[in-house]
A and B are shown apart, each in its own frame.
Chain A
Amino acid sequence: MGNAALLPVAFEVILIAGALLVLMVAVIADRRRSVWAPIAGVAYLAAAAAGILQWRAVAESGGDLYFSTPDIVIVRSPMVVMDGFSAFAAILLGLLGFVALLGSWDLVVRLGKRSAEFVALGLLAVAGLHMMAATPNLIVIFIGLETASISFYILAGFIRGSRASDESALKYFLLGSLASAMFLYGIALTFAATGSLTIYGANSIRDFFSVAIITEPGILLAGLALMLAGLFFKVSAAPFHQWAPDVYQGAPSAAVGLMAAGIKVAAFAALARIFIGGFISQIDAWAPIIGVVAALSMVVGTTMALVQTDLKRLLAYSGVAHSGYLLATFVGGVEGVPPMWFYVSTYAFMVVGAFTIVSVVNGPAAHAAPISSFKGLAKRSPEMGWLLAIIMFGLSGMPFFAGFVGKVFAFVVAGEAGFLWLVVIGTLATVVGLAFYLKVVATIFAPDESGEGLEASTSARIAIAISATVTVVFGIVPWPLLEVVRDALPI
């Protein structure tokens, strides 16, 4: 059993060991050279490789390393679950962490000795994020959420003495803790209603619904609503989005990519695990709530993004709209999980790429990123200009870019589930959204007299190139990824 028993937790073990190693090396190493940053890069890649091993083990094992029901081909225990769902999350989060680290390299170099903490916090956050996807236990999901959130609060306030960075950290901390507490109270009420904290297995929530008839659903519904509210906050879905623009703007640009993309991946994974894995029998109760929040997020995110003059705030509001499109996949139940994975994995790389470009143009520690500072970017640095244009096209949902494929599949799932009004609102929001994405593209290609050259570091260029490649490749040939995510279900 030896290796098989370690494999399900290998992702977390590698990243946490990496974080501890980084902190120890930082104590003894030469303080002028950031030798610990490559350690973190290796840890991210090793963790992604562990995810691939998990994926293969799940495909080969036929299932019952610990215990499983006959119809489900996965490995699971009451605390850790290793299935296609968690393995895909591991691969995605490992690669995302690596690209985000490359993107934040400039900041790592500038921070000097303190960059060890910066890098270690990133590793711990990603470990927490994956914990949210790889457990059937609600309390462990909460612990993963807090591990990631607390790391992100610190990363948001990482620039010492910067009023904007402090403000960002305090706002994120106060509102984030409020959301975590609501999520936790939701777990407690669900526990009161069902007598279980586990999604699968004996005495689980699924067990409960297969035998029990709920006569007074009040406590259960309150619990579901509170858990939803907590996760809506974390993915900045409207009306729980007010923190996002301020936090994204105040935090160092190089850290925002991981914060914004990582929490979306993990929170949507947890949402799928809890609501599609555990509460699928109650879909009639929660699907309409998710539908309304999805529509609201699309409308609010798109309209607010139209009037933004700062690219970081624009990306924050665009993130609100994208949460709406992602939530639209959930009304389709288990059918919506593959489109959700496709959408969130391509979106995550676009976001990291976009914030990396912001940190190249405005500096990795800066908090302001006025759109006017991108004027004539295509002339100052043709490479950056074109890559940012590609990512903007991808985010806007232009055909032949990954965002388009993701949106089409999301809308198909929502339409088949009978939420046609949601599809209509989503399509309208996409069309209106083109306005602000194309405004950015127009600014990039606008003539600019004062144009001085722009030097980007190699690591930042690699990170941006990877995210632009993801945007283009999966926009033109989405089939391989769609094939893979079909096996990544939380059931």
Chain B
Amino acid sequence: MIVTTTWFLLLAAALFSIGVAGVLIRRNALVMFMSIELMLNAVNLTFVAVSRELGLIEGQVAALFVMVVAATEVTVGLAIVVAVFRTRASANVDELAEMKG
């Protein structure tokens, strides 16, 4: 059995879908946040697989850039979650309902 690039692209699409579903369904801010990281890693897998298939270096470089961006998102995102946890003692997004209309 030969594992072709298509397999990787399908795996990445599945991971990305799981990530989207996680953000939309789960109610814990940290779990939603992890789902977003899963989406970014699915993108990285796509970049690297395509890069290898086409023999281009750009995709692998792109994956490195995405990792750095994901890391900066983690620092800011965790800080925001901690700030919310301090004022509410909960990371459940359903309790975020100060504003309506």
Tell me, in angstroms, the Cα distance from A326 to B72 when the chains sit together: 31
Q: Which residues of A contact B93 (CB under 8 A)?
A: 170-171, 174
Binary flags per residue of B25-42, CB closer than 8 Å to A gives 1, else 0 = 000010011001001101
B9-A181 in contact (CB<8A) = no
Identify A195's interface contact among B16, B56, B80, CB under 8 A.
B56
Please tell me if A466 contacts chain B, counting CB pairs below 8 Å: no
Q: Which residues of B contact A189 (CB under 8 A)?
A: 46
Instruction: State whether A195 and B101 are in contact (beta carbons under 8 Å apart), knowing that A173-B76, A178-B20, A181-B43 are contacts in the complex.
Output: no
A185-B83 in contact (CB<8A) = no
Please tell me if A139 contacts chain B, counting CB pairs below 8 Å: yes
A154-B76 in contact (CB<8A) = yes
Tell me, in angstroms, the Cα distance from A246 to B101 when the chains sit together: 9
User: Which of A169, A184, A189: most chain B Cβ within 10 A?
Assistant: A184
Which A161-219 residues sit within 8 Å CB-CB of chain B?
161-164, 166-171, 173-174, 177-178, 181-182, 184-185, 187-189, 191-192, 195-197
A174-B98 in contact (CB<8A) = no
Q: Which residues of B contact A277 (CB under 8 A)?
A: none
B101-A177 in contact (CB<8A) = no
A167-B46 in contact (CB<8A) = no
Residue of B nearest to A197 (CB): B58
Please tell me if B11 contacts chain A, counting CB pairs below 8 Å: no
Residue of B nearest to A154 (CB): B76
Instruction: State whether A185 and B76 are in contact (beta carbons under 8 Å apart), knowing that A139-B62, A167-B96, A174-B36 are contacts in the complex.
Output: no
A97 to chain B, nearest CB (A): 21
B101-A310 in contact (CB<8A) = yes
A191-B36 in contact (CB<8A) = no
**Which range contains the number of A residues in contact with the other chain?**
35 or more
Which A227-258 residues sit within 8 Å CB-CB of chain B?
245-246, 249-250
A146-B99 in contact (CB<8A) = no
A-B CB contacts (within 8 Å), total count: 123
Q: Which residues of B contact A153 (CB under 8 A)?
A: 76-77, 80
Instruction: State whether A188 and B47 are in contact (beta carbons under 8 Å apart), knowing that A174-B93, A181-B36, A309-B101 are contacts in the complex.
Output: yes
A365 to chain B, nearest CB (A): 15
A170-B84 in contact (CB<8A) = yes
Tell me, in angstroms, the Cα distance from A79 to B46 when the chains sit together: 22
Instruction: State whether A245 and B101 are in contact (beta carbons under 8 Å apart), knowing that A163-B88, A166-B87 are contacts in the complex.
Output: yes
Q: Which residues of A contact B29 (CB under 8 A)?
A: 170, 174
Residue of A nearest to B5 (CB): A192
Binary flags per residue of A134-153, CB closer than 8 Å to B gives 1, else 0 = 00000100110010001001
Identify A169's interface contact among B50, B58, B69, B83, CB under 8 A.
B83
Binary flags per residue of A361-383, CB closer than 8 Å to B gives 1, else 0 = 00000010000000000000000
Q: Which residues of A contact B73 (CB under 8 A)?
A: 146, 150, 177
Please tell me if A313 contacts chain B, counting CB pairs below 8 Å: yes
Tell me, in angstroms, the Cα distance from A160 to B79 when the chains sit together: 12
Please tell me if A469 contacts chain B, counting CB pairs below 8 Å: no
Binary flags per residue of B3-24, CB closer than 8 Å to A gives 1, else 0 = 0000001001000100110010
B29 to chain A, nearest CB (A): 6
A320 to chain B, nearest CB (A): 14
Tell me, in angstroms, the Cα distance from A387 to B80 when the chains sit together: 36
B83-A191 in contact (CB<8A) = no
B87-A184 in contact (CB<8A) = no
Q: Which residues of A contact B65 (CB under 8 A)?
A: 139, 142-143
B69-A142 in contact (CB<8A) = yes
Residue of B nearest to A198 (CB): B58
Please tell me if A157 contacts chain B, counting CB pairs below 8 Å: yes
Identify A150's interface contact among B39, B43, B76, CB under 8 A.
B76
Please tell me if A303 contacts chain B, counting CB pairs below 8 Å: no
Which B67-97 residues sit within 8 Å CB-CB of chain A?
69, 72-73, 76-77, 80-81, 83-84, 87-88, 93, 96
Q: Which residues of B contact A160 (CB under 8 A)?
A: 83
Which A342-359 residues sit within 8 Å CB-CB of chain B?
none
22 A-B residue pairs with CB within 8 Å? A139-B61, A139-B62, A139-B65, A157-B83, A160-B83, A163-B87, A164-B99, A166-B83, A170-B93, A173-B80, A174-B29, A181-B16, A185-B16, A187-B43, A188-B12, A188-B46, A188-B47, A191-B58, A195-B56, A245-B99, A250-B98, A367-B99
Residues on A lying within 8 angstroms of B by beta carbon are 139, 142-143, 146, 150, 153-154, 157, 160-164, 166-171, 173-174, 177-178, 181-182, 184-185, 187-189, 191-192, 195-197, 245-246, 249-250, 307-310, 313, 367
Inter-chain pairs besides A163-B98, A166-B80, A166-B88, 14 sampled, C-beta below 8 Å:
A150-B73, A150-B76, A153-B80, A157-B83, A162-B87, A167-B96, A168-B99, A174-B33, A177-B73, A181-B36, A181-B39, A184-B43, A188-B62, A191-B62
> Which 7 interchain pairs have the tightest Cβ spacing?
A181-B39, A188-B46, A192-B50, A167-B96, A177-B36, A166-B84, A164-B98
